[in-house]
Structure 1
Amino acid sequence: MLKSLGSALQLMRYFTAQQPAWGVRELAKASGVHHAVVHRVLATFAAEGYLVQDELGRYALGLRWFEMGEIVRHTVSPTEVVGPVLHRLVEESGETVFLSVLDGDEGLCLNIAHSEQQLRFSIEEGQRFPLHEGSHGKAILAFLPDAVRAGLCAQAQPHGEPVERAALDAHLEQIRTEGWAYTCEESAPGVAGIAVPVWTRDRQRVAGSLAISGPMQRLDEASVPRLLDVLREAQRKIEGVVGLLR
């Protein structure tokens, strides 16, 4: 029973911001699960309101996930505290700010406050990202246990190419030493970012990151010292209230 439930939930992971709707045979091909099983799982989730069907018979996530997501959102990152902290950080930095959490072997953007600048970095709440690219990922990766970090680095393939391990390891060591990460044009062309890790309340493990991202012509290395002060102040406030960080 539990194995079947686990398999059914694995199929739900295929519904992403990049591909929010699936046909039965399409999902069966992508997942390697027999189409009859996929049909039964999707129909069951649809009957309970977790999926809906469009006019072409394709399935998309239903509002029950939204309801549950709102419960998690308010539990994990209380909006009455996190929201104002992020918006204050936007005012002080002039750039987009976002809070991410570690979820499995990926990062997950949990909260975001957008810059009012016309040219700005774009990421969405709920978007996942690899940990080996960008300051927001590396601020997490650098502080993972040695064995976990080594395994993730070995699998890393930025832009489809094998990662240069020596350079990555050296950068992660620098991040651990300094306590913050700065990257330029790793997550997107023309984009730079600075991030700090967000720790559990007992300070025993890294749980996520808090990042400022924007065009590299505004967010250059000369801006780092000024931004670090406000970023660390926001980091302290968020670590004190985020429910997940226990």
Structure 2
Amino acid sequence: MLKTLSGALQLMRYFTPGQSVWGVRELAKASGIQHAIVHRVLATFAAEGFLVQDALGRYALGLRWFELGEIVRRSLSPAEVVEPALHHLAEQSGETVFLSLIDGNEGICLDIAHSEQQLRFSIEEGQRFPLHVGAHGKAILAFLPLERIDEICLTPQRESAAFDRPALDAHLSQIRESGWAFTQEEAALGVAGLAVPLWTKDGKTLAGSLAISGPLQRLDESGVPRLLEALLNTRHKIERVLSLMR
């Protein structure tokens, strides 16, 4: 029973922002699971409102996942503290701010405060990302135990190109020394990011990262000192409630 449930939930992981709709045959081929089993699993999830079917018989995630996601988001991110802090930082910096948590060998964006600027960098709430690229990922990866870093670097990353491990290790060492990460055009072309790690209230458990991201012409390395002070002040406010988020 539990093995069957685990297999069914693993199929749900194939629904991603890059591939949000699946036909039964497509998913069976991608997952290596028998067509009949995939059909039965998808039909069951659809009957319970977790999937919806289009006119061509393909499946997409249903609103039931959204409802559950909102419950998770609200329980992990105390709105009365986190959201005002993120929006204040977005106003101070003039850039997009996002809070991410570590989830397994990836990061996941939990909450966002958008910039009022016309040109801005957007990451979606609930979006997963690799930890070896971008300030928001490296601010997490740098402070993990070495064995976890090795494990993550050896794990194939979805939609991610190969990388230079010695160069990555050198950058992670620099991040550990300074306490913050700054990257240019790693997560997206024309975009820079500045991020700090987030720790739980006791200061012992790495929870995720807090990042500012924007176009290179506005967010360059010369502006790091000004932005870093605001970023660290916001981190202090958020870390007071991180014990509620883990």
Say whether the fold is shared (TM-score over 0.5): yes
Unpaired stretches in structure 1, ≥5 consecutive residues: none
Q: Could you tell which deviates more after superposition, 154-163 or 50-59?
A: 154-163
Matched position secondary structure for 1:112:
strand
Q: For the Cα contact (< 8 Å) 2:200–2:243, is it kept in 1?
A: no
Name the TM-score, length of structure 1 as normaliser: 0.95
Displacement of 1:156: 6.8
Q: For the Cα contact (< 8 Å) 1:107–1:131, is it kept in 2?
A: yes
Q: CA separation in 2, counterparts of 1:82 and 1:194? A: 18
Q: 5 Å matches for 1:52-71? A: 52-71=52-71
Q: CA separation in 1, counterparts of 2:156 and 2:169? A: 12
* Structure 2 equivalent of residue 211 of structure 1: 211
Q: What per-residue deviation string (whole Å, max 9, x for no partner) do you get for residues 146-199 of structure 1?
A: 101122234477986532222111110111111110001111111111000011
Q: CA separation in 2, counterparts of 1:149 and 1:81? A: 31
1:36 aligned onto 2:40: no
1:183 aligned onto 2:192: no
Name the TM-score, length of structure 2 as normaliser: 0.95
Unpaired stretches in structure 2, ≥5 consecutive residues: none
Q: 1:160 to 1:232 in 2, by over 3 A?
A: closer
Matched position secondary structure for 2:201:
coil
Displacement of 1:244: 5.2
Q: What per-residue deviation string (whole Å, max 9, x for no partner) do you get for residues 51-108 of structure 1?
A: 1111111111112111111110110002222111111001100000000111111111
Q: CA separation in 2, counterparts of 1:182 and 1:17? A: 26
1:221 aligned onto 2:221: yes
Q: CA separation in 2, counterparts of 1:25 and 1:78? A: 42
User: Number of residues paired by the alignment?
Assistant: 246
Q: 1:156 to 1:181 in 2, by over 3 A?
A: farther
Displacement of 1:117: 1.1
Q: For the Cα contact (< 8 Å) 2:139–2:196, is it kept in 1?
A: yes
Q: Could you tell which deviates more after superposition, 77-86 or 135-144?
A: 77-86
After the TM superposition, list the runs of 4 or more consecutive aligned residues in structure 1 that deviate by more than 3 angstroms: 154-162, 242-246
Amino acid in structure 2 at the alignment position of 1:30: A
Matched position secondary structure for 2:98:
strand
Matched position secondary structure for 2:194:
strand
Give the RMSD, CA atoms, in angstroms: 1.7
Q: 5 Å matches for 1:39-118? A: 39-118=39-118
Displacement of 1:214: 0.5
* Structure 1 equivalent of residue 197 of structure 2: 197
Q: CA separation in 1, counterparts of 2:6 and 2:164? A: 36
Q: Could you tell which deviates more after superposition, 200-209 or 109-118?
A: 200-209
Q: For the Cα contact (< 8 Å) 2:99–2:210, is it kept in 1?
A: yes
Matched position secondary structure for 2:212:
strand
Displacement of 1:236: 1.1
Q: CA separation in 1, counterparts of 2:43 and 2:113? A: 37
Q: CA separation in 1, counterparts of 2:72 and 2:13? A: 17
Q: 1:53 to 1:161 in 2, by over 3 A?
A: closer
| Percent pairwise identity | 70
Amino acid in structure 1 at the alignment position of 2:208: G
Displacement of 1:20: 1.5
Q: CA separation in 2, counterparts of 1:193 and 1:160? A: 18
Q: CA separation in 2, counterparts of 1:239 and 1:30? A: 40
Matched position secondary structure for 1:99:
strand
Amino acid in structure 2 at the alignment position of 1:204: K
Q: For the Cα contact (< 8 Å) 1:157–1:163, is it kept in 2?
A: no
